[in-house]
Chain A
Amino acid sequence: MFRNDSALSLRGLTKRYDDGTVALEDFDLEIPAGAFFGLLGPNGAGKTTLISAVCNLVRITDGQISVFGEPHDSMAARRSIGLAEQDINLDRFLTVRETLVYHGGYFGMDDLEPRADEMIEAFGLQSKRDVRAPKLSGGQRRRLLLARALMHRPRLVILDEPTAGVDFELRTELWRYIRQLHSEGTTILLTTHYLEEAEELCDEIALIRGGRLIARDSSEGLREHFGAARLQDVYVKAMAS
């Protein structure tokens, strides 16, 4: 049975793609509600596959996924998750405001318009509210992507490399917003290649490689376990082992 105090629970999750590639194999993971959880691993480790499986964007081969105790494909679980993907995937036909309003509509929200305006203000997109996504700058698109993920007030926010290719100023701004979200009780699952980002933000970090969980602990715990002074050294040792 799944634990009720888990935000996310994966049991024996296996994903084998049609070409035979095994992205995740018998993967177990439990993330408590309210956690700020980091997922680290090299390209191809299975991070994005794991996230896509949770969000019903890939067909899983085997295993079980639950979100706040509900099967991940249930309506309740889907409503609980907010996803900001690594690649910018905004609807090219919609303006900034429409992007948020339509997303809220898909997720069955009632207070669409006030919430959309609130998100536009929170992410500093007021001057671009009636501009279509392709005409936004890279930073503005990244902000809109995060605003869309948070629009329906999800209890579990999944951020797949949210600061990849983002300048220092925007990264700091995003960190501040994500921290605030976490302080309000939202569970955060973050994947990143920036080790200092994981160390700075996450309560707990999981290291994965080749679709398997290598280690999981707090930043201090990992350093102690691997006898390393820095998280970078932990990462190098874990990936080489």
Chain B
Amino acid sequence: MTGLVWLCKRETLRVSKLWTQTVLAPVISSILFILVFGLSLGGRIDQVSSVDYEVFIVPGLITMGMVQAAYANNASSIFQARFDRYIHDVLAAPMSPWQMTFGYTVGGIFRALAIGASLLVLATILVGVPIERPFALAAAVALGLILFSALGVVVGIYAETWDHTTFIANIVILPLAFVGGVFYSIEVLPSPWEELSHFNPVFYLVNAVRFGFLGESDVSVWLSLGVTAALAVPVYAWSQWLFTTGRRLKD
């Protein structure tokens, strides 16, 4: 287990050493969203799901900031380690494949939690966001971070260039987050956009987190948690399979 502890320390050390890029920058971006969309436009928008607009958008923005960070951290950390080949130091070490998978997943979770906690403190000060259902919130955050951290590990292992890692972030995760109900309730969408939103996995995660904060959600929290878990388990298993077989990691 010692090797696992040190791999977890290494992955969190990297986040800490680069804190201005890994934590500060995404926190500032998300706070700007709250300030611009919430405080400046919020006064002109009616309540959404019986809460003020500037409060309504906070859970989605925290979710978006966290999942992007969880993914980007692990994709870049693994890709860099493969590119510079210092991942060999871990692959040759007396560690089980499950320990390697878990150790590399932890960095993304740590970074996302640092961002989420910072945003929660700032959002509480700025707009006073409540936490109505803490257990549901904890479950949603845990499942969402496992899903996107593991996705980062998988993409970091398959990527051939830096562009591949940013492609998934910019072309898949960011658009799905934007149309996943971060800024609106899907009740206001016309057909077929409302129905199409149900095929967006980030929609369920945003709603699970929103339920944890506000006690309000567009869909059942059980459905949201179920869909997120149904994605998190196979993606984590995929990353585990890559470390177990050595595919893409070992020639």
> Using a CB–CB distance below 8 Å, which chain A residues touch chain B?
17-18, 52, 55-59, 75-76, 78-79, 81, 83, 85, 87, 89-94, 98, 102-103, 105-109, 148
Contacts and interface: CB of A to CB of B under 8 A. Distances in A.
Contacts of A79: 94
Contacts, number: 81
Contact of A106 (B3, B14, B80, B85): B3
Given A83-B92, A105-B9, A90 B246 contact: no
A102 B94 contact: no
A184 B7 CA distance: 31
A108 B94 contact: yes
A57 B91 contact: yes
A85 B88 contact: yes
B95 A106 contact: yes
A59 B249 CA distance: 10
Interface residues of B, number: 28
A106 B94 CA distance: 7
- Shortest 6 CB-CB contacts between residues of A and residues of B: A105-B6, A106-B93, A89-B85, A75-B94, A78-B94, A108-B2
Interface of B: 2-3, 5-7, 9-10, 13-14, 17-18, 80-81, 84-86, 88-95, 245-246, 250-251
B88 to A, nearest CB: 6
B12 to A, nearest CB: 11
A89 B89 contact: yes
Q: From A92, A98, A106, name the one whose CB has the most chain B CB atoms within 10 angstroms.
A: A106
A166 B2 CA distance: 35
A102 B10 contact: yes
Contacts of B7: 105-106
B251 A59 contact: yes
A105 B5 contact: yes
Contacts of A109: 2
A75 B100 CA distance: 14
Nearest to A55: B92
A23 to B, nearest CB: 9
B89 A58 contact: no
Given A58-B250, A85-B88, 10 more contacts: A59-B246, A78-B92, A102-B6, A105-B3, A105-B6, A105-B9, A106-B94, A107-B3, A108-B2, A108-B3
Contacts of B81: 91
Contact of A89 (B2, B5, B88, B246): B88
Nearest to A60: B250
Contacts of B93: 78, 106-107
Given A59-B250, A87-B85, A106 B90 contact: yes
A75 B97 CA distance: 11
A211 to B, nearest CB: 14
A179 to B, nearest CB: 25
A56 B91 contact: yes
Q: From B81, B86, B91, name the one whose CB has the most chain A CB atoms within 10 angstroms.
A: B86
Contacts of A17: 251
Given A105-B9, A106-B6, A107-B3, A148 B89 contact: yes
A101 B91 CA distance: 17
A10 B51 CA distance: 69
A92 to B, nearest CB: 6
